[in-house]
Amino acid sequence: MRIFIVHAHPEPNSFNGALTRAAEQALVAAGHEVVISDLYAMGFNPVSGRRNFTTVRDANYYRQQAEEANAAVHGGFAPDIQAEMDKLFWCDALILQFPLWWFGLPAILKGWVDRVFASGGRIYGGGKWYDRGVFAGKRAMCSVTIGGPPPIYSDRGLNGPISEILFPINHGILYFVGFTVIEPFLVHAPARISDLERQIYLARYRERILDLPQASTIPYPKLADFDVHHVLKSN
């Protein structure tokens, strides 16, 4: 198995760092190949703009999706973007490792998605989306640390269900480009639990990461389940 981990935490000794190291060690020991993009360590620039391209379609008006379509045809993605795309096409499974920040992705990881997941048929577009997406057949999973404990993210909890908070990432990003989305691995309140509890989380994560091909997935509907208006057909 070829695993691509995109790691987004500014502190190497954070619990996020521990999770990524645990995953890498477990996978390598089991004979798998691992590539990690440690976005802060790389100094990844998350800000989209003409820096995304070596080509120019319209020098007077910047339309990102039009520039992406042009770059897809002419091989015009900037080297830092092309390198991340190559890792996506190389992998069998993608892991996004991040702390929940403001109910979402840290900006550096959101910017990675904004820049790397290019339209014009390269990563999506031209009828390539959801189960007909470019990455159909590959798996993806979010591994997320969360400041709050489980009850506040339950169905009746103050912050709302974690599944709804992660929907824009799991469905709107990962499934949108074709990945089969594995149920997220969630670590609640790592700074407020005991060291023993943190070790248990790390052990459970090693198990989950070695089980990626079998791990249960989120059962999103397929394109064929929708009518011409993209509304679910009634049975």
**What is the smallest separation between the CB atom of 91 and ligand FAD, expressed in angstroms?**
23
Contact present, 201 and 190 (Cβ < 8 Å): yes
Asked whether position 120 contacts ligand FAD by CB under 6 A, the answer is no
| Contacting residue, 100, 116, 169, 212, with ligand FAD by CB under 6 A | 100
Q: Nearest residue by C-beta to ligand FAD?
A: 147
**The dihedral of CA 5, 11, 12, 18: what is its sign?**
negative
Runs of H (alpha helix) within the chain: 15-29, 39-42, 64-74, 79-90, 107-116, 162-169, 195-210
Give the interface size with ligand FAD as a residue count (CB under 6 A). 20
**Type and span of the H or E element at 144:** strand 139-146
**What is the smallest separation between the CB atom of 176 and ligand FAD, expressed in angstroms?**
22
Query: From CA 5, how far away is CA 37, in angstroms rounded?
Result: 6
Residues 159 to 188 in contact with ligand FAD, rule: CB under 6 A? none
Span interacting with ligand FAD, options 89-97, 190-198, 208-216, 226-234, rule CB under 6 A? 190-198
Show Cβ contacts of residue 140 under 8 Å, excluding neighbours closer than 6 positions.
93, 94, 95, 96, 174, 179, 180, 181, 182
- For ligand FAD, the closer of residues 150 and 221 by Cβ is 150
Contact present, 22 and 202 (Cβ < 8 Å): yes
Contact present, 77 and 141 (Cβ < 8 Å): no
| Contacting residue, 3, 4, 5, 9, with ligand FAD by CB under 6 A | 9
**What is the smallest separation between the CB atom of 25 and ligand FAD, expressed in angstroms?**
11
Asked whether position 101 contacts ligand FAD by CB under 6 A, the answer is yes
| Contacting residue, 2, 128, 171, 198, with ligand FAD by CB under 6 A | 198
- Number of Cβ within a 10 Å radius of residue 180: 19
| Contacting residue, 3, 6, 8, 18, with ligand FAD by CB under 6 A | 18
Asked whether position 196 contacts ligand FAD by CB under 6 A, the answer is no
Inter-axis angle of helices 15-29 and 195-210, to 10 degrees? Answer: 40
Asked whether position 99 contacts ligand FAD by CB under 6 A, the answer is yes
Asked whether position 111 contacts ligand FAD by CB under 6 A, the answer is no
Residues 56 to 85 in contact with ligand FAD, rule: CB under 6 A? none
Query: From CA 170, how far away is CA 151, in angstroms rounded?
Result: 21
Per CB under 6 A, residues contacting ligand FAD are 9, 11, 13-16, 18, 99-103, 145-148, 190-191, 195, 198
